[in-house]
Amino acid sequence: MAKSGPPPIVFILLFLLLAGGGWFFFLNKPAAQDANNTPTPTPSGGGGANLPPLAPVVGGASPVAATSFALPASVPAGTTVRIDGSTSMVTINQNLKNGFQGKFSGTTVDTKANGSEKGIQDLAGGTADIAAVSRPLTAQEQGQGLAAVPVALDTIALVVGVNNPFKGGLTSAQVQDIFKGNTQDWPKVGGPAGPIKVINRPAVSGTHQTFKEQVLAAGEFGTASNITTLDRDATTPLLQALGNNGIGYATFAQVANQKTVRVVPVNGATPDAGNYPYQRQLYYAYKNPPSQAVKDFLGYATSSEGQKAMLAGN
């Protein structure tokens, strides 16, 4: 007698189970992948799509999320934007001013450079529309209704006079020792005989504050007799004060094309290298809610067109 097999109903059930499982896996295949298993990129948009990431806020507060400002199609004639702040952003401000006024006829951008602290004071007091700042906003400033959008990356350069006989580089530790007053003679860092004259920027300078955070690891500048702190935050007097034995610091954009000074490599890298240690974010701060004029200018500044204008002449 023939051996009996499983009843037909068993084959039907197995078929349905296998077919159903196959459909389950097919329908649940990730939709964001193409035939080559490459994730589909998320489209970007808005005026802030090309912005660099925000740097940490001083004081431990969370950074303010960058608002996306759209590039305006037109700006009414008679629009005026007042900017004050960091001396490190003079060139950026001027280039954006030229680009904005050239694109939108009848507009005026008034720029000053009285330091990051003064710019923030003027912004909070209503005598400036935008503060150009070379450091993140503090938690206290954010509590006053101020916000900031990053506009450029910058590096802080160490500079000596072009005729300074010191021709070498420095390590991060050596830079700290020099500006804290622990090292006061060039031979201690491999240079010729002679004292080191340190030229410091005033405390109102955003570059001064960033230097403390990045270079001195939140420490303080030294008070040794060889350290001179300028009364005014301006780069030209600092460069003039270097002489043949001085060292100071400035934003790289301000000294890159100077003929009277040389940039000192740090840890074997110059400021235009990706592994240079002293990099920072530059910001435009504004008061919330921003006026239409501020929205229009920041929309231009953070657009690809504005970013190109910002680098004009560099």
CATH number of the domain to which 179 belongs: 3.40.190.10
pLDDT, averaged per 10 consecutive residues of the chain (314 residues), comes to 48 45 38 32 31 33 54 98 92 95 98 94 97 94 96 93 97 98 97 97 90 92 96 93 97 89 97 92 95 97 93 63
Statement to judge: residues 264 and 215 lie in one domain: yes
Statement to judge: residues 136 and 210 lie in one domain: no
Give the ranges where the chain is alpha helix by DSSP (H). 8-27, 90-103, 116-125, 139-143, 172-179, 206-214, 235-241, 252-255, 292-301, 304-310
Among 243, 233, 236, CA closest to 211: 233
DSSP letter at 244 equals T
Give a yes or no: residue 102 inside a domain. yes
Say which residues have a Cβ less than 8 Å from residue 12's Cβ, sequence separation at least 6.
Answer: none
Give a yes or no: residue 12 inside a domain. no
pTM of this prediction?
0.61
Give a yes or no: residue 249 inside a domain. yes
Structurally, the chain folds into a number of domains equal to: 2
Statement to judge: residues 253 and 165 lie in one domain: yes
HEC-encoded secondary structure of 184-222: CEHHHHCCCCCECEEEECCCCCHHHHHHHHHCCCCCCCC
Give a yes or no: residue 167 inside a domain. yes
Give a yes or no: residue 130 inside a domain. yes
Statement to judge: residues 129 and 180 lie in one domain: no
Among 284, 302, 280, CA closest to 50: 302
Say which residues have a Cβ less than 8 Å from residue 163's Cβ, sequence separation at least 6.
Answer: 244
Statement to judge: residues 271 and 286 lie in one domain: no
Residue 144 belongs to domain spanning: 80-154+281-310
The angle at the Cα of 155, spanning 151 to 160, to the nearest 5 degrees, equals: 145
Statement to judge: residues 184 and 260 lie in one domain: yes
Tokens at 227, concatenated: 């350290």
Residue type, 66: A
Statement to judge: residues 198 and 211 lie in one domain: yes
Statement to judge: residues 202 and 265 lie in one domain: yes
Q: What is the DSSP string of 90-133?
A: HHHHHHHHHHHHHHSTT-EEEE--S-HHHHHHHHHHTS-SEEEE
Give a yes or no: residue 22 inside a domain. no
Cα(170)–Cα(278) distance, rounded to whole angstroms? 13
Statement to judge: residues 180 and 262 lie in one domain: yes
